[in-house]
Amino acid sequence: MKPEILAGLLLAGLAVFTTGCSTSGGTTDDGDTEAAELRVTPQGNQLAETNVKLGVGYFQQGNYEYALKKFRKALAIDDQLPNGHYAIALLYDRLGKPNAARQHFERAIELNPQYSDAYNAYAAFLCRKEDYVNADKNFRKALTNPLYRSQQLVRINAGLCAVRATNYKPAEDYFRAALQRNPKLQTALFQMAKLHVATNRHLQARGYIQRYAAVGKHTAESLLLGVKIERVLGDKDALAKYALLLQKRFPDSDEARELLESERR
């Protein structure tokens, strides 16, 4: 299974817009998250901004038809509105219209070259299209803004994208950079463990999976990874512990079935 980029794919964390400031979202030094906020600061005509805000409300409700109408109306009022182009790009991506999404992502960035949220989401979009070179370029552009509060999210996304491209060295560099800023970042710890398994460095992988468990709860995937690590390293007690936890906590998971199948072989 290809790793899923954390932002720009699902809009689980759309921000509530304000007229005076923007709220920060994404993965920060305080921990993990599963989606970036769609943050929009006032950048143009007030009526256009209001329509963007209304469109996001409809987007949150899953009412894509009305969201699209509001975004289109906003851009009809002010075609120079970066956040309007960003919002409609995300919607077109959700609607399965990649050409329109690409056009509006690029327009948002053209109008606001410091729009790190747009760079991050566009990079995630490009990664899913397997345009890995341009995806990485846009992730890096998002990171050039020292004031961007979701840099950790970008690093995780960029690392996941590099894994998808089987570019393990840059992926490791991104995750390591994230951990330098927050050593307890679970997503980065888990991905580092997986990377070290993929590159046959199981002893180091053990260290990362242990650090992962120390800062949060195991998942079925992390427990199965622990099993695979200990099989190679030959620690039968640790292997049995991971296997027991997996069967006990996640008996109906795909990982538990994979474990049982592997034990039968």
User: Taking a C-beta distance cutoff of 8 angstroms, is the pair 85, 108 a contact?
Assistant: yes
In this structure, the answer to whether residues 15 and 121 fall within a common structural domain is yes
pLDDT at 44: 56
Q: What is the DSSP letter of 216?
A: S
In this structure, the answer to whether residues 214 and 157 fall within a common structural domain is no
Confidence of residue 1 (pLDDT cuts 50, 70, 90): low
Residue 2 makes CB contacts below 8 A (sequence gap 6+) with 164
Name which of 5-9, 118-122, 250-254 the model is least confident about: 5-9
Quick one: average pLDDT of 88-100?
A: 97
Q: Evaluate whether residue 88 is within a structural domain.
A: yes
* Burial call 13-38: b when 16+ CB within 10 Å, e when fewer: bbbebeeeebeebbbbeeebbebbbb
Confidence of residue 263 (pLDDT cuts 50, 70, 90): confident
User: Taking a C-beta distance cutoff of 8 angstroms, is the pair 4, 159 a contact?
Assistant: no
Name which of 43-47, 66-70, 130-134 the model is least confident about: 43-47
pLDDT at 124: 95
How many beta carbons lie within 10 A of that of residue 254, not counting itself?
A: 12
Quick one: average pLDDT of 123-136?
A: 96
Nearest-angstrom CA–CA distance, 160 and 175: 9
Q: How many domains does the chain have?
A: 2
43 to 12, 40, 118, 120: CA distances (angstroms): 24, 8, 14, 19
pTM of the full structure: 0.82
How many beta carbons lie within 10 A of that of residue 206, not counting itself?
A: 20
Residue that the structure tokens 């956040």 belong to: 83
- The answer, yes or no, to whether residue 223 has pLDDT greater than 60, is yes
Q: What is the pLDDT of residues 164-198, one digit of tens each?
A: 999 999 999 999 999 999 999 999 999 999 999 99
- The answer, yes or no, to whether residue 18 has pLDDT greater than 50, is no
In this structure, the answer to whether residues 71 and 21 fall within a common structural domain is yes
Of 137, 115, 135, give the one whose Cα is nearest residue 126. Answer: 135
Residue 223 makes CB contacts below 8 A (sequence gap 6+) with 242, 243, 245, 246, 249, 250, 255
* Burial call 149-177: b when 16+ CB within 10 Å, e when fewer: bbbbbbbbbbbbbbbbbeebebbbebbeb
pLDDT at 265: 78
| Structural domain ending residue among the three candidates 143, 169, 195 | 169
Quick one: average pLDDT of 17-38?
A: 32
In this structure, the answer to whether residues 131 and 9 fall within a common structural domain is yes
Q: What is the DSSP letter of 95?
A: T
Q: Which residues pair with 31 in a beta bridge?
A: 28
Nearest-angstrom CA–CA distance, 157 and 164: 11
| Structural domain ending residue among the three candidates 169, 201, 227 | 169
The whole domain housing 194 covers 183-265
Share in percent of the chain as helix, strand, coil (round to 5)? 65, 0, 35
Give the rounded percent of residues in the chain with a pLDDT score beyond 70: 83
| Structural domain ending residue among the three candidates 112, 138, 169 | 169
